[in-house]
Structure formats: structure tokens, C-alpha cells
């Protein structure tokens, strides 16, 4: 199981790195989570440089792909060469996006008539791309999910875990990272967002 977190220059650390941390609560052979980047190193919106753990093309064969946000997402979607490196397929992949990452899915034509979540800054750009934007933290339809707001990152990660490893595993991963003294309430709240959008 390979989960690729698409991480571009100008990325938001809270999106890519929180998702990475939550997803890596799953400890089993073959489970791999990687920061998937267009070049060997990318620098965040706050000047943190990280090395790619996989290159962008690896997203094509990943089992799940999460698209993080960042301050240069409009540059990303305007770069035809860069966008051509992405060939995502919701018929065989779980695909999620957060905040401005939702704009990437919209420009790739992966949202269609499905409404989506994003942050307030990106909302008008997603709407211009023809996608209805919801006033909520998380929404999923089939194999595509979107989240809005930096701290919605754990919802996307938990959605991937719930879809692949089950609800108990998702709840356990969230419980581990939740604040002490608030763990049960935090997990219950997250599950209220997730459960309506899970199959069955």
C-alpha cells in the first residue's frame, strides 16, 4: 500500500506533514507513505525544505494520493508540463485533496459535478473552475475526498485509513494524535465527519 502525498514548492506544512504523521500510525509490512514531489527538494511556505521521498510520477501507481495545499498552487495548475505529470484515476485510487489541493483536482477534471471542500482563500478559484464549494470540513463521494482548513488534514488521513484498514484503525490513529484529555471527544467529532461518506 503506497500513499503519495503530493507536496509542491510553497507547500503548507500542516497539510502534508500532519497527514504523513497520522498515516504512519499504521505499522504493517508494505504500508508506505511518501512525500511525493516534482523535484528532489521542495521548500514550504514558511521556509522548511524537505527531500522528496518519491517523485511525482509515482502518484500514478500509488494506491492513494493526497494533494496538499500551498501558496503556489495556482502556479502549479497553470503549469501544463507539471500537470501532465499527474495521471490520477479514481476508479483504482483513493484520491483526496485539502484546501488549495482541491483546485488541483478541479483542474484535472476529477471533481466534475461533485461538490468539494476547500479553504476560504481558494474557494473562489475552485468555484471559477465550475465546482460547488461546501461550507464544511470534509466531504467524500466514492473514491474522491476533499477537506477544508489546515486542521482538517487528519480527516483526510483517517478517511484513507478507514477505507483501507477499517474504522477501528482510523479511530486508533486519530486517538494517538489527539490532545490528552480530549481524545474521545476528538475521535467522536472526526467520525461524525467521516462516517456519512464511507461506503456501506
136 vs 39: CA distance, rounded Å = 33
Percent of the chain with pLDDT over 70: 100
- Whole-number pLDDT of residue 37: 97
**Average pLDDT, integer, range 58-79:** 96
37 strand-pairing partners:
55
- Provide the phi-psi class of 43: left if phi over 0, else alpha when psi is between -120 and 50, else beta: beta
The mean pLDDT of 183-190, rounded to a whole number, is 97
- Per-residue pLDDT tens digits for 133-153: 999 999 999 999 999 999 999
Amino acid at each position: 500500500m503506497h500513499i503519495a502525498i503530493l507536496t509542491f514548492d510553497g507547500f503548507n506544512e500542516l497539510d502534508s506533514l500532519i497527514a504523513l504523521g497520522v498515516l504512519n500510525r499504521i505499522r504493517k509490512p508494505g504500508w508506505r507513505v511518501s512525500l511525493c514531489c516534482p523535484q528532489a527538494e521542495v521548500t514550504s511556505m514558511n521556509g522548511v525544505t524537505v527531500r522528496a521521498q518519491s517523485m511525482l510520477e509515482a502518484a500514478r501507481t500509488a494506491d492513494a494520493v493526497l494533494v496538499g495545499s500551498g501558496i503556489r498552487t495556482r502556479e502549479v495548475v497553470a503549469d501544463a508540463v507539471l500537470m501532465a505529470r499527474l495521471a490520477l484515476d479514481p476508479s483504482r485510487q483513493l484520491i483526496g485533496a485539502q484546501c488549495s489541493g482541491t483546485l488541483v483536482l478541479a483542474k484535472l477534471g476529477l471533481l466534475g459535478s461533485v461538490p468539494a471542500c476547500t479553504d476560504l482563500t481558494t474557494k473562489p478559484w475552485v468555484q471559477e473552475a465550475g465546482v460547488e464549494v461546501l461550507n464544511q470540513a470534509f466531504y467524500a463521494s466514492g473514491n474522491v475526498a476533499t477537506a477544508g482548513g489546515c486542521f482538517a488534514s487528519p480527516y483526510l488521513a483517517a478517511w484513507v485509513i478507514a477505507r483501507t484498514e477499517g474504522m477501528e484503525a482510523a479511530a486508533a490513529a486519530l486517538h494517538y494524535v489527539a490532545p490528552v484529555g480530549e481524545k474521545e471527544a476528538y475521535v467522536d467529532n472526526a467520525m461524525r465527519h467521516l462516517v456519512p461518506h464511507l461506503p456501506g
